[in-house]
Structure 1
Amino acid sequence: MTEHRQGLEQERARRAAAERSLQESEQRLRRIFDHSNDAILVIDPAADRILEANARAAEMLGYDAEELISRVTISAVHPQEMPRLRAFAGDVITRGSGWTNELSCTCKDGSRLPSEISASVLSFEGRDCIIAVVRDVTERKAAEEALRRSEERFRAFVENAGDGFFAVDAGGHIRDVNQRACDMLGYGHDDLIGRSVLDIDAGLTAADFTALIDELEVGRPQLLESRHRRQDGGVFPSEVSICAYGNPDAPSYIALLRDISRRKEAEAAIERLAEMGEFAAMIIHQVRNPLATIDLCLEHLAQRSLDERTGRRLALARGESTRLAGLLDEVLSYAGRLDLALSPCDIDALIRELVPTLAARSPVADRDLRVDLGLPGVQVQADADKLVQVLTNLVVNAAEAVAPGEPVTLRTSGSATAPCIEVQNGGEPIPPDVLARIGNPFFSTKGRGNGLGVAYVRRVAAAHHWELTLTSTAEEGTVARLRL
């Protein structure tokens, strides 16, 4: 009896320990169930019922806990997805578990939450049901969509860029290119992928590439000039910007390739023009000496008593000599070096000082020069001497375009950030095709003009990064606008 009683006591203790362990386990599971960051629901798909749900499920769907279990059906949570939900539930019942990210939950307020659902079979009240762990992936979906849009924008940018785009690995092999790179080099996309950069860069050796890669730092691009070879063997001057990105210990590389053939041609043309300018200046200096001698001889002849016919011829020769001297000065101004001495320049004050000199100069002296200053105290960075020459040329040209006594207007307008100088004259409007050519050297609408005055104005304006426009209408007359 004693042994039997002891056995019963031991069995009772084991059962009590097992019950306590089971209660503790249930309590732990309940705490996990109640306090999970994900929604947990026990559902019976066949009966279209939610049998149990945690607080997070009620919060996520916008119901209180009792309402969610007693009144809300599964079809209310997935009103547009029931066929897909039933298929998923059937697969879970068959397999024992399942996962999907193709369903969304409809909240009480009608909003829809993209969801990630992990489910398994659970025996509940004597029948097979499903326990579903539902995670709201709205933020993740939004981030994925933002990333997708960003990648689309980047790809659109790359594919429509004016430069060739290359993704290159540390070994110098091309991993990706845009269409511009293919067009520039004459290869198809697949022909370039996997090819070494040494195959297309005629100015790069293996040692040069290794040294370049060793020097590159992540996020610090380098710009270099080289020569690239097309598939047909032709070579063109190029500019390459290469940058390392990604893991500093094992970076990848992006290179942007630009064909600078036109820039090199422009630079060569500029150098040639500079040489021509120096040559023109040399010729002008050589011509001036004999021209000065001719002037002295003509002046000596003018002091003698000559008959009327000879006097007229002498006056014509002296006038042509003076005109030739003026032309040489204008050519020298246009063709010579244009070095700017920039300093703060008060626009209205400069014009105010210039007006007496302008008004006394032919042919301005015979016209009605009107001055309207509207930028008091406004200053710009400018070469004051060259601005004076520009204004003199514009006003003299305007005066030559109208009859004596007609008005010529010089005005300033705009603001401190967008100042403007205008010179306006009346007369017949200039045809558009002729207006477009004004400013070309040696093109002029005046019988004895040479076009160098406006050409010089354009050159000074370009050197200052100003904008010169010419308009001519019957209503407004001809207006030269200099936006500083």
Structure 2
Amino acid sequence: MPRDNDRSGSATPSADRSNTALGERYRKLFRHSNDAIMIVDFAAEEIVEVNPASCELLGYAEETLLGMDPAAIHPDDIDRVRDQFISEVRESGSGWTDDLSCLTRDGERVPTEISGAVLDDGGSPTRMVAILRDVSERVEHRRQLEEKIDRLEQFAQVLSHDLRNPISVVDGHLDLARETGDPKHFEAAQDAVDRMDELVDELLALVREGDAVGAQEPVALEDVSRRAWRSVSAGEATLHCETTLTFSADPSRLQELLENLFRNAVQHCESGVNLTVEPIESPDAVGFYVADDGPGIGTEQTERLFEWGYTSEESGTGFGLAIVEQIADGHGWDVAVTDSDDGGTRFEFTGLTVSSETT
């Protein structure tokens, strides 16, 4: 009688061929994957095998990576790699994290997501496979979204802050128009409404394009200063500005800068304040200054003056001077704050591109 096949012995030749083919497929996946793949020894805590994508990601030759301590690749996160990622893989068989950075040979930090799984050899796991994926594009996209959200938040803050003054001007002149019947107050109110329309358009462009300033052209400092002054509810305050200084700037954003400086001075003085806008006369600096004869600003306040939301007044918003700095930065100007000759505050703007200057 024919004997039954012995099923208790070694695998049949067909099974061997199948295992060999399967192993070869996995080997091809390992070698040709676009993701970096590493085999890590648990006990020695070192890399024992890598694919070409690992070398490309980290900038090391294969022989350098083999035997390398993972701490050299994750210097900032190695404790978290050991305590969370590797421990999770050993205990549960797999693990994943999306916020680890890898240090390349050139010193660049590459954001990655890493997944891992134990390599089961039939007993206690001794090795794991770690798959690293470069997520730089995803991180950059997230950063751009966060910047856009920040711009939207600033847009809302700037819009609410800088529309208050034209609205106050409209309200004041309408009251005067009702009391006196003088049509000039309607004209002043219309000018303020036009300024509001201009501000809305400019700030919408800021949100869409992300630029602090728009197209620049030659502007006369005195002309823009007087337009800005007419947009401010100045009360008993006065403005002195007599200059022919002309320089390159975004006219609307420069007017917004001056409006915020004028309004800041008026609001921080109990009685009428005198403001001066003049060129800076210095061989080392080309610019202009806005000074007042108010009570001045303390050292502690000066250090925080341009922070978004910082104000020393209970009714203040803390956005006016932050907007000033943003507009100056957009033009490439330097801003400095010092004491004025009259004991008040002086804001200096230098780094201008001057068209012509006669004082």
TM score, norm. by length of structure 2: 0.43
The structure, 1 or 2, with the larger RCO (C-alpha pairs under 8 Å, 6+ apart) is 2
Q: Which has the larger radius of gyration?
A: 1
TM score, norm. by length of structure 1: 0.33
